[in-house]
C-alpha cells in the first residue's frame, strides 16, 4: 500500500486457514511463556491495544473485545427473567465476568478456567478488560477443567456461558464441544435457564465447525439459535450458539430490551442495546442453509479438530 509506514518490528502471524494469515503488528511483547496447558502471549499491538494470544490464536484485544464479550453474554442473560447464578467456563481475561456482573439480579458467578497462569497474566496486564471484576464479592474463581467441575459441581445455574478457546488439535478445550458435555450442561441448567457458547468462525470457508456445533447442541437442547458478531481482530465473523429448553425470542422488541437493560443492569454497554440485539440475532441465510444440510455431530469419540494445534492436554 503506497505510503504505508508500519512502526513495528514484531509481527504475530495468525493462520486463519492454511492459506490465510492475519499479521498483527506489535510494539511490545508483555509476556510470553508455555504454561501447563497452552502457549501464552500478551502483546501491545500497534492498532488494537493490548491483546491475549493462546496457542497462536488471537483471543481478544482491548480495542474491540466488547464486540465479542457483549455479544457472548447479553443475549443469554436476556433470555432468563432474573439470572441469579451464572457459571462461566473459561473466560481467562475476566471480560466475560465483567459483562455478567453488570446484571443487578446476579448473586453468584463461578468462573472456571483451566489455566491459572493465563488468569494471573490477564489480571496483571489487562486491567482494561477485567476492570476489577476479579475483586467482585459475587465472584468465585476456580482453576480447573470445566468438564470436571461440571461433573462434580451440584446445583443449578440460571445461565452457563462457555467462553473457551477454539477446539484446536491437542488444545485444552475440544472435549467441551461434544454431545456429552452439552448433556452435562443441560443437567446443571435450571429448567428455564440459558446456555451460550463461542462456537467458532462463521466465514463461508471456516464455518464447518460452527454448523456442526449447532447440530450437536440440537441433539441435546430443544431450542438452539446461531448468531454472530463482527470482531475486526478475528478477521472472520465469530459465531455463537444460544441454547435453551424454552423458545428463544429471535426478534425481541428493541424498546422492551432497552427498558430491561435500563432497569436490570448497571449499563455501560458499547455494542448491545435493543436495536443492536435485534440485528445480532438474525442468522444469515448461508448459515441457515448450511445448518439445514448438516447431519454430523461432535462426540468425545469424534471431537472437533479446529484448524491450529495446541500443546496437548497434560
Ligand atoms: N475470546 C476467546 C475466543 O473467542 O476464542 C476465548 C477467550 S478465553 C481466553 C479462553 C479460555 O478458555 C482460556 O483462558 C483457556 O485457559 C480456557 N480453557 C480452555 N480449555 C478449558 C477447559 N477445558 N476448562 C476450563 N477452561 C478452559
DSSP count for the chain of H helices, then E strands: 10, 14
| Residues identified as active-site | 163
Which pLDDT score, from 0 to 100, does residue 81 have?
Answer: 86
Expressed in angstroms and rounded, the spacing between residue 163 Cα and the centre of ligand 1 is 6
Instruction: Single out the residue of 64, 92, 216 nearest to residue 163, CA to CA.
Output: 92
State the cell numbers at 301: 469419540
Which pLDDT score, from 0 to 100, does residue 19 have?
Answer: 94
Q: Whose CA is nearest to atom 8 of ligand 1?
A: 91
Expressed in angstroms and rounded, the spacing between residue 164 Cα and the centre of ligand 1 is 3
Which pLDDT score, from 0 to 100, does residue 20 have?
Answer: 93
Expressed in angstroms and rounded, the spacing between residue 272 Cα and the centre of ligand 1 is 23
Which pLDDT score, from 0 to 100, does residue 2 have?
Answer: 61
CA 168 to CA 16: how far, in whole Å? 12
- For the beta carbon of residue 48, count every other beta carbon within 10 angstroms: 20
Residues in the chain: 314
Cβ of 115 below 6 Å from ligand 1: yes
Which pLDDT score, from 0 to 100, does residue 169 have?
Answer: 64
Q: Candidates 66, 164, 241: which one to mutate for ligand 1, based on the most atoms within 8 Å of Cβ?
A: 164
Expressed in angstroms and rounded, the spacing between residue 256 Cα and the centre of ligand 1 is 33
pLDDT along the chain (314 residues), means of 10: 67 90 94 95 96 94 98 98 96 98 98 98 98 98 94 91 81 85 96 96 95 97 98 97 97 98 98 98 98 95 74 43
Burial class (CB in 10 A: 0-12, 13-18, 19+), 47: middle
Cβ of 65 below 6 Å from ligand 1: no
Q: For 31, phi and psi rounded to 5 degrees?
A: -160, 140
Which pLDDT score, from 0 to 100, does residue 168 have?
Answer: 67
Which pLDDT score, from 0 to 100, does residue 99 have?
Answer: 98
CA 54 to CA 118: how far, in whole Å? 9
- Beta carbons of 174 and 306 less than 8 angstroms apart: yes
CA 266 to CA 126: how far, in whole Å? 22
Give the pairing of strands 157-163 and 189-201. Answer: parallel
The reported pTM is 0.95
Cβ of 172 below 6 Å from ligand 1: yes
Which pLDDT score, from 0 to 100, does residue 314 have?
Answer: 37
E strand or H helix that includes residue 10: strand 10-17
Q: Whose CA is nearest to atom 20 of ligand 1?
A: 173
Cβ of 161 below 6 Å from ligand 1: no
CA 229 to CA 72: how far, in whole Å? 9
Cβ of 60 below 6 Å from ligand 1: yes
Cβ of 64 below 6 Å from ligand 1: no
Amino acid at each position: 500500500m503506497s505510503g504505508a509506514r508500519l512502526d513495528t518490528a514484531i509481527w504475530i502471524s495468525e493462520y486463519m486457514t492454511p492459506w490465510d494469515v492475519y499479521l498483527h503488528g506489535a510494539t511490545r511483547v508483555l509476556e510470553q511463556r508455555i504454561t501447563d496447558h497452552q502457549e501464552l502471549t500478551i502483546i501491545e499491538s500497534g492498532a488494537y491495544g493490548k491483546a491475549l494470544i493462546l496457542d497462536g490464536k488471537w483471543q481478544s484485544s482491548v480495542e474491540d473485545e466488547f464486540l465479542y464479550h457483549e455479544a457472548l453474554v447479553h443475549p443469554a442473560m436476556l433470555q432468563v427473567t432474573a439470572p441469579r447464578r451464572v457459571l462461566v467456563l473459561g473466560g481467562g481475561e475476566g471480560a466475560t465476568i465483567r459483562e455478567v456482573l453488570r446484571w443487578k439480579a446476579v448473586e453468584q458467578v463461578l468462573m472456571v478456567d483451566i489455566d491459572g497462569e493465563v488468569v494471573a497474566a490477564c489480571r496483571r496486564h489487562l486491567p482494561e478488560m477485567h476492570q476489577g471484576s476479579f475483586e467482585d464479592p459475587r465472584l468465585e474463581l476456580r482453576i480447573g477443567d470445566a468438564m470436571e467441575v461440571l461433573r462434580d459441581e451440584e446445583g443449578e445455574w440460571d445461565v452457563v456461558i462457555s467462553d473457551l478457546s477454539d477446539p484446536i488439535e491437542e488444545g485444552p478445550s475440544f472435549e467441551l464441544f461434544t454431545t456429552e458435555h452439552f448433556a452435562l450442561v443441560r443437567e446443571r441448567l435450571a429448567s428455564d435457564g440459558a446456555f451460550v457458547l463461542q462456537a467458532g468462525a462463521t466465514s463461508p470457508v471456516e464455518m464447518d465447525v460452527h454448523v456442526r456445533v449447532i447440530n450437536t447442541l440440537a441433539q441435546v437442547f430443544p431450542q438452539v439459535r446461531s448468531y454472530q458478531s463482527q470482531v475486526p481482530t478475528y478477521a472472520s465473523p465469530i459465531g455463537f450458539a444460544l441454547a435453551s429448553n424454552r423458545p428463544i425470542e429471535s426478534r425481541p422488541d428493541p424498546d422492551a430490551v432497552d427498558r430491561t437493560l435500563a432497569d436490570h443492569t448497571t449499563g455501560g454497554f458499547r455494542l448491545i442495546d435493543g436495536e443492536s440485539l435485534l440485528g445480532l440475532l438474525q442468522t444469515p441465510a448461508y448459515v441457515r442453509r448450511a445448518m439445514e444440510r448438516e447431519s454430523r455431530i461432535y462426540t468425545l469419540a469424534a471431537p472437533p479438530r479446529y484448524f491450529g494445534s495446541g500443546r496437548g492436554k497434560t
